[in-house]
Structure 1
Amino acid sequence: MTEEGRGHDPGPDRLRSIAVHREDVANALEASLRSDREVVLRVTPPFSGRMRARLHALDAGGDGGDGEGAGSADASDSPAPLHIDPRNLVAEVPPYPEPDETASEYPDADLETRRERHAEAVAAWRERVRERVRSTVEIEVDDETRTVDVVALA
């Protein structure tokens, strides 16, 4: 790229803020904690000052989910999507409520009541996660750590 074109560089160094839905953060975090899947919030190029980060499973499609290296001649010229670990978006990640823990809190309850109590515990955990979305997050850009603003959407 010539020096003249640098002002139009679509790279992630242009990124100043990302917008995330609180529910996407809770979903990504829960999926990461409850399974072997790696679920992230992904920001895809072309990058601009303000971007939306969307829920993404890295193993989707079996190729890392990015579509990179799919035979495109200019794939190396395009910046890669940014993947943000949901743990980095939540201040003080609360421990996920395990079914056995919930059951031990209600030892005399029947199975249906225990299920209801566990569902309530998970709902309360998800609400705590949604409330704790950070206002900034650190991202890696060209082997450098940068801080960008986080706009949490309802």
Structure 2
Amino acid sequence: MTDDEGGRDPGPDRIRSVAVHREDVANALEATLRSDREVVLRATPPFSGRMRARLHALDAGGGDGDADAGDGGPAPLHIDPRALVADAPPYPEVDDTAAEYPDADLAARRKRHAEAVEDWRETVRERVAETVEIEVDGETRIVDVTALG
């Protein structure tokens, strides 16, 4: 694509790597697993070889973000957090934690559940994948992932 092609922003086909913060990946995955919200890591145009993807809720006030492309430019790139975690462990449920400690009082169960959630989050942060598949013009491409933090 050249600069003479209608002044359009370069598309996501230019992306070679995506940088994500480990904490953003854990937050997005937890929100996705624990609620009906659709939370992604989002990179916005103009696109370049190296992009930073940030936490974004698709159901947040401004719509899903694809409307941003209404000016003829490329749409934002949305990456499912599940695609960014290699072998994500199951999220610790309250009932499972309670079953592990049936004789513990409520305060102890809450503490143990909070510890289980923090252990899960740490595991997710450690397992951010080295590559991720993204969709570009109906085709799937593999790009590198740079984990920050």
Please, what is the CA RMSD of the aligned residues?
Answer: 2.0
Q: In structure 2, what is the Cα distance between the partners aligned to 1:62 and 1:9?
A: 21
Does the alignment pair 1:34 with 2:34? yes
Identity of aligned residues (%): 74
- The ranges of structure 1 where at least 4 consecutive aligned residues each deviate by more than 3 angstroms after the TM superposition are 1-6
Partner of 2:92: 97
1:45 is aligned with what amino acid?
Answer: P
TM-score by length of 2: 0.92
Q: For 2:137, which of 119, 142, 149 is the aligned residue?
A: 142
Partner of 1:118: 113
Change (3 A) 1:19 1:63: same
Change (3 A) 1:3 1:118: closer
Q: Deviations over 1:109-131 (max 9, x none)?
A: 11000000000000000011001
Q: In structure 2, what is the Cα distance between the partners aligned to 1:92 and 1:15?
A: 25
Q: In structure 2, what is the Cα distance between the partners aligned to 1:80 and 1:2?
A: 19
Q: In structure 2, what is the Cα distance between the partners aligned to 1:5 and 1:153?
A: 35
Residues 56-67 of structure 1 aligned to structure 2 (within 5 Å): 56-61=56-61, 63-64=63-64, 66=65
- Contact 2:66-2:75 within 8 A present in 1 as well: no
Q: In structure 2, what is the Cα distance between the partners aligned to 1:108 and 1:117?
A: 13
- Contact 2:17-2:146 within 8 A present in 1 as well: yes
Q: In structure 2, what is the Cα distance between the partners aligned to 1:27 and 1:13?
A: 27
1:95 is aligned with what amino acid?
Answer: P
Change (3 A) 1:100 1:47: same
Partner of 2:43: 43
Partner of 2:53: 53
Does the alignment pair 1:25 with 2:20? no
Q: In structure 1, what is the Cα distance between the partners aligned to 2:107 and 2:62?
A: 38
Q: Deviations over 1:10-60 (max 9, x none)?
A: 110000001000000000000000000000000000000101000000001
Q: In structure 2, what is the Cα distance between the partners aligned to 1:145 and 1:122?
A: 33
SS in 2 for 1:60: coil
Unpaired runs of 5+ residues, structure 2, are none
Q: In structure 2, what is the Cα distance between the partners aligned to 1:62 and 1:4?
A: 32
Partner of 1:80: 75
Unpaired runs of 5+ residues, structure 1, are none
* Residue correspondences, number: 148
